[in-house]
Amino acid sequence: MTEHSAGNGRENTNIESLLKEGRVFKPSAAFSKGTEVGSPAAWEKLRAQASKSPVKFWEARAKELRWEKPWKKALDWKFPFAKWFVGGKLNASANCLDRHLEGPRANKAAIIWEGEPGEQRTLTYRQLHREVCVFANTLKKLGIRSGDRVAIYMPMVPEAAVAMLACARIGATHSVVFGGFSAEALRDRIQDAQAKAVITADGGWRKGAIVPLKAAVDDALAQCPGVETVVVLRRCGSVVSMKEGRDHWWQDALRGVGADCPPAALDAEHPLFILYTSGSTGKPKGVLHTTGGYLTHAAYSARLVFDLKENDVFWCTADIGWVTGHSYVVYGPLANGATVLMYEGAPMTPAPDRFWDLIERHRVTVFYTAPTAIRAFVRLGAEHVRKHDLSSLRLLGTVGEPINPEAWLWYRKEVGGDRCPIVDTWWQTETGGIMISPLPGATGTKPGSATKPLPGIDAAVVDKDGKPVPKGSGGLLVVRRPWPGMLRTVYGDPERYRAQYFSQIPGCYFTGDGARVDKDGYFWILGRVDDVINVAGHRLSTMEIESALVGHPRVAEAAVVGHPDELKGQGITAFVTLQTGVAAGPEMVDALKGAVAKAIGSIARPDVIRFADALPKTRSGKIMRRLLRDVAAGVKTSGDTTTLEDFAALAKLQPVQDE
């Protein structure tokens, strides 16, 4: 997430939403029959229960977990700080593992893993429980105690989940740092969290090469004297340096350690994890989530949105370094006793059909990925999908940013065979879990809309005074009531928490996104308020212009930003990646400008179109529009760039500077 501001001045309150999408896809009667919420009437009943007594509704969801001690008060809300299930005690690791050992799930696959080179492992719930207990005891042996912060910097291997669950088991607060981040980014996060230990690996596989994780840790720790312990998994067989007394090989540290590790009974508000998000300033924000509320939301949303069944193989393609990996690779699915597929590497290594090959071989039933990945697959062509049997799939999902209708329709047709519903989910690192999403079986879907808030979530689209805007009008997306999965603070900086999220709109959590609600009550996310362009007094959604561009059959991806314009205030610059083999030129520029004018109106016609082989993205796949704004304005890029995946993509877009 980027830093955001609701804007200054009443003239900037509303966002004009001009792109309309009227197609509706209703779930089949056969699909709906087998779902937990199988009809619009059932959805409405659940929503009414939540609206009438929201705290009681969340208490009922929390009671689906295993508690060591009941809570005394469900919600203590002193705006803007919340405490949920006050006085209650539980353990996230026990809820993901121990409670499944009493029945047939004990020998059910918990994690099916495949490495990028092709190795495969399967861990049952019993086996995963044992590995977590042994590693938790190892952490205790190495001096890690409840309340300590532990940085996890690992590839996508089962041991990454083991490390998270082991920390949760003993009450250590984990801070997972994506394994592709630089040593500098890792250093900053370790320092801010005051981590006492780092769990890493010698390396990890990505795009056919070894990512040197331990070397990055060594560089980072040169400026982190507070780190006393480093545990290193042998993954790639790389030669690495080991500092005596501080560094321990994972496999060696486990020797002689017992598997009996009772889970600590932790307060519901005990910090479970800190996860850092980048901002426009140089300092990342440490989003703090606590145990009881977060786990309640993650478990509830995973079950409801993905309609999890005992025989499902659920694949969320996110890395655990992102919140999506926390909530829907580890905590949400495992709390529900689901089988999770984990894949270590890149989606197109060694071939463009790697994802479809994985789905076919592992018989994946529920597939959850990012619009960025989908658009990349669109560019590669459907032939890579069509050569695989994807008949095991029954449900598709998207996460990370709004998906344009054309990519949504391609996903439904080519991957889902025109039979799998799509759950287009909206949420944030800060929300802990999914907030707005269709419920499969109950919600008719519209391409590009996240549909409606989950029961228990009071989301609205308002003006800067907090008043709802008319249906169809663009405004500011807020949440009006506290919910269990909400962040509790910015670690070490409660004032930043208050100013960032609760100061712009009276009495509300401000998401930083623009949105509109249509006549059917469906939410359409218009993107970051920061990304709105003010053209001659019209506040236009960049997402809608991008959607119109990507709707052209020769466009694979597009990003739209504003640039300074003396006459209009801001002009529109579009960065466009064309389909493979399509030539750029004046005719294509004219065609794309015309496509936008036809879809939205002449007010949204781009002033400048720049063609690019690739767009600068974060390592989670989001286009870094903040950097593109600098490029469009002809200024030097600024702010936090630690999450940038490929600096070459940005460098190619920079104008040549005169000597």
403, part of any domain: yes
CA 560 to each of CA 17, 176, 531: distance values in angstroms, whole numbers, following the listed order: 15, 31, 8
Q: Which helix (H) or strand (E) holds 500?
A: helix 494-502
Mean pLDDT over residues 248-256, rounded? 97
Residues 96-120 as b/e (b if ≥16 CB within 10 A, e otherwise) read bbbebeeeebeebbbbbbbbbeeee
What pLDDT score does 647 carry?
60
What pLDDT score does 394 carry?
97
What's the CATH code of the domain at 611? 3.30.300.30
Q: Do 32 and 58 share a domain, yes or no?
A: yes
Domain end among 263, 287, 318: 263
What's the CATH code of the domain at 158? 3.40.50.980
As for how many domains the chain has, the answer is 3
Q: Do 549 and 639 share a domain, yes or no?
A: yes
Q: What is the dihedral of CA 194, 199, 203, 207, to 10 degrees?
A: -80
Q: Is 363 exposed, middle or buried (0-12, 13-18, 19+ CB in 10 A)?
A: middle
Mean pLDDT over residues 143-165, rounded? 98
Question: CA 192 to CA 166: how far, in whole Å?
Answer: 22
Mean pLDDT over residues 487-515, rounded? 95
Question: CA 564 to CA 66: how far, in whole Å?
Answer: 56
Q: Do 639 and 548 share a domain, yes or no?
A: yes
CA atoms within 13 A on the CB side of 250: 21
Question: CA 280 to CA 2: how far, in whole Å?
Answer: 6
Instruction: Please give the DSSP secondary-structure letter assigned to residue 618.
Output: B
Q: Do 160 and 239 share a domain, yes or no?
A: yes
521, part of any domain: no
> Helix H segments across 81-212?
92-96, 125-141, 158-170, 183-193
Domain end among 201, 230, 263: 263
Please name which of 158, 159, 200, 161 lies closest in space to residue 180, comparing C-alpha atoms: 200
How many CB atoms are located within 10 Å of the residue 55 CB?
Answer: 17
**Cα 423 to the center of its chain, rounded Å:** 14
What pLDDT score does 12 carry?
46
114, part of any domain: no
Q: Do 174 and 284 share a domain, yes or no?
A: no
Q: Do 425 and 290 share a domain, yes or no?
A: yes
Binned at pLDDT 50, 70 and 90, residue 542 comes out as confident
What pLDDT score does 269 carry?
98
Q: Do 217 and 286 share a domain, yes or no?
A: no
Binned at pLDDT 50, 70 and 90, residue 123 comes out as very high
**Residue 459 scores a pLDDT above 80:** yes
**Residue 105 scores a pLDDT above 60:** yes
Q: Do 63 and 166 share a domain, yes or no?
A: no
Q: Do 442 and 303 share a domain, yes or no?
A: yes
What pLDDT score does 637 carry?
64
Binned at pLDDT 50, 70 and 90, residue 566 comes out as confident
Q: Do 281 and 158 share a domain, yes or no?
A: no
298, part of any domain: yes
Mean pLDDT over residues 233-240, rounded? 96
What does the mean pLDDT of the chain come to?
91
Q: Do 65 and 147 share a domain, yes or no?
A: no
Mean pLDDT over residues 594-615, rounded? 86
Q: Do 157 and 55 share a domain, yes or no?
A: no
**Residue 4 scores a pLDDT above 60:** no
- Domain encompassing residue 386: 22-91+272-309+365-458+492-504
**pLDDT exceeding 70 applies to what percent of the chain?**
91
8-12, 344-348, 462-466, 581-585: least confidently modelled range: 8-12
Residue whose tokens read 């520029």: 589
What pLDDT score does 272 carry?
98
247, part of any domain: yes
Mean pLDDT over residues 123-150, rounded? 98
What's the CATH code of the domain at 392? 3.40.50.12780
475, part of any domain: no
315, part of any domain: no
175, part of any domain: yes
